[in-house]
């Protein structure tokens, strides 16, 4: 049973086998040199201290070798993306063949929809969560328009029930059962950005595939946070960013997954560039297009190495620790956070994230009654960095790699005072 005391929080930190990781990150500080209480790894992860070294290596090799760095650098740039594949595949539960790091999230979703959203006159609709991240909504609406459909008519929203905040899987099942003959694609966020709800990805795939719908997952808030087991889930494709829980830096490259069952289908429509052409003959230049198998077959251009170096710095930390240990700490850390918030005697706030640790990542979404953003502003003034989302939610993500139990305790003590 948890205890609402500083001594107890500090004891949990002493027992934490991952506590040493905090010292490997740059923690922002206030004017007096005190660490911020940073709870926005769900928007931008903190910088690992080794990132600078990884990027500097590539800057040094660029200075030393120029173009020859593609082959002569300590980490040759030509195959650099391959250095990331195995670690990234472990994080999302995929085979190396199924994963590649490339582009940015919404760009990848569009490239994947080029291949997997193939509407007909009768089967053309797309299902998303009603509170999907805006970029996903804009992407699917533009795809509907591009294919000649009405964006409103072609979009089906999976909504919470009246008076509820969370989605029910049986409601999605009903939608697909009743309208599946008209649905071409389900594009669902694996972890909802607003509520923090972790959805049953495997069940979503089963529901969609039962009606011959393609199933895609946006893992922007899932990669490095939960264990989605993408291969086992059977989803057709997925995409995610790396700058949140994967700590790769603002706007860094994204990840892409295409299930093995599609790996060798050269007839899938796709946009082409020289980086998804057969790597053995890529530099012969005057060859007819020969697409590579697997996720690499969706690349277009040679990637930005400096961004990949930052991703590699982070992935090496994940490789050392493993998702199982991170998830175990995450569940305990978030459980303690939830316990402390529930100890506050107030009707002004409530947690809308699922209470079951298996149905959430490390984010807790705190709904504020009669919200006007003032509570969030007061937290910021007290050097507690959280994230406000309209109309009335403060998102807080204690990240197991660098947040401590004492962070959580001090945050809630301040929250109590402000309330």
Predicted confidence pLDDT, tens digits, the chain (419 residues): 899 999 999 999 999 999 999 999 999 999 899 999 999 999 999 999 999 999 999 999 999 999 999 999 999 999 999 999 999 999 999 999 999 999 999 999 999 999 999 999 999 999 999 999 999 999 999 999 999 999 999 999 999 999 999 999 999 999 999 999 999 999 999 999 999 999 999 999 999 999 999 999 999 999 999 999 999 999 999 999 999 999 999 999 999 999 999 999 999 999 999 889 988 888 887 888 889 999 999 999 999 999 999 999 999 999 999 999 999 999 999 999 999 999 999 999 999 999 999 999 999 999 999 888 999 999 999 999 999 999 999 999 999 999 999 999 999 999 999 99
The CB density around residue 274, as the number of other CB atoms within 10 Å, is: 16
Quickly list H helices, 131-187.
Answer: 134-146, 169-179
Q: Which residues pair with 395 in a beta bridge?
A: 365, 387
Predicted local distance difference test score (pLDDT) of residue 371: 81
Instruction: Give CA 18 to chain center in angstroms.
Output: 21
Quickly list H helices, 279-385.
Answer: 305-321, 323-342, 374-381
Answer whether 242's CB lies under 8 Å from 211's CB: no
The CB density around residue 356, as the number of other CB atoms within 10 Å, is: 10
Predicted local distance difference test score (pLDDT) of residue 279: 85
The CB density around residue 108, as the number of other CB atoms within 10 Å, is: 25
Sign of CA dihedral 95, 229, 255, 52: negative
- Provide the greatest CA pair distance for the chain: 72
Predicted local distance difference test score (pLDDT) of residue 372: 82
Answer whether 116's CB lies under 8 Å from 108's CB: no
* Domains of the chain: residue spans and CATH: 6-46+322-418 (3.90.1150.10), 81-302 (3.40.640.10)
Strands (E), 59-213: 99-102, 125-129, 155-158, 183-189
């Amino acid at each position: 049973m948890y205890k609402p005391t500083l001594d107890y929080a500090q004891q949990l930190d002493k027992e934490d086998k991952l506590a040493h990781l905090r010292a490997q990150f740059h923690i922002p500080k206030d004017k007096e040199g005190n660490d911020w209480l940073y709870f926005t790894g769900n928007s931008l992860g903190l910088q690992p201290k080794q990132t600078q070294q990884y990027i500097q290596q590539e800057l040094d090799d660029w200075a030393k070798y120029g173009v020859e760095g593609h082959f002569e650098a300590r980490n040759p740039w030509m195959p650099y993306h391959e250095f990331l594949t195995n670690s990234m595949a472990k994080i999302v539960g995929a085979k190396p063949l199924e994963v590649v790091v490339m582009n940015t999230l919404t760009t990848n979703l569009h490239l994947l929809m080029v291949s997997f959203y193939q509407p007909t006159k009768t089967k053309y609709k797309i299902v998303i969560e009603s509170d999907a991240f805006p970029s996903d909504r804009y992407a699917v609406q533009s795809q509907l328009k591009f294919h000649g459909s009405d964006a409103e008519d072609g979009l089906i929203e999976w909504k919470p029930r009246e008076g509820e905040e969370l989605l029910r899987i049986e409601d999605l099942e009903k939608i697909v059962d009743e309208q599946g003959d008209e649905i071409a694609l389900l594009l669902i966020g694996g972890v909802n950005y607003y509520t923090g709800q972790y959805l049953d990805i495997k069940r979503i795939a089963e529901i969609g595939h039962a009606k011959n719908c393609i199933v895609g997952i946006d893992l922007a808030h899932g990669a490095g946070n939960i264990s989605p087991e993408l291969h086992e889930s059977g989803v057709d494709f997925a995409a995610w960013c790396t700058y949140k829980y994967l700590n790769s830096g603002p706007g860094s490259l994204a990840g892409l997954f295409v299930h093995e069952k599609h790996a060798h289908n050269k007839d899938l429509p796709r946009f082409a560039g020289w980086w998804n052409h057969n790597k053995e003959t890529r530099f012969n230049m005057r060859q007819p297009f020969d697409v590579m198998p697997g996720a690499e077959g969706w690349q277009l251009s040679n990637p930005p190495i400096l961004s990949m170096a930052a991703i590699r710095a982070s992935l090496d930390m994940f490789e050392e620790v493993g998702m199982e240990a991170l998830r175990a700490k995450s569940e305990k850390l978030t459980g303690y956070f939830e316990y402390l918030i529930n100890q506050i005697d107030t009707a002004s706030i409530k947690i809308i994230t699922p209470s079951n640790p298996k149905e959430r990542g490390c984010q807790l979404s705190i709904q504020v009654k009669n919200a006007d953003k003032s509570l969030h502003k007061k937290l910021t003034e007290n050097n507690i960095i959280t994230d406000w989302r309209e109309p009335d939610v403060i998102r807080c993500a204690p990240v197991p790699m660098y947040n401590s139990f004492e962070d959580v305790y001090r945050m809630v003590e301040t929250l109590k005072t402000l309330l």
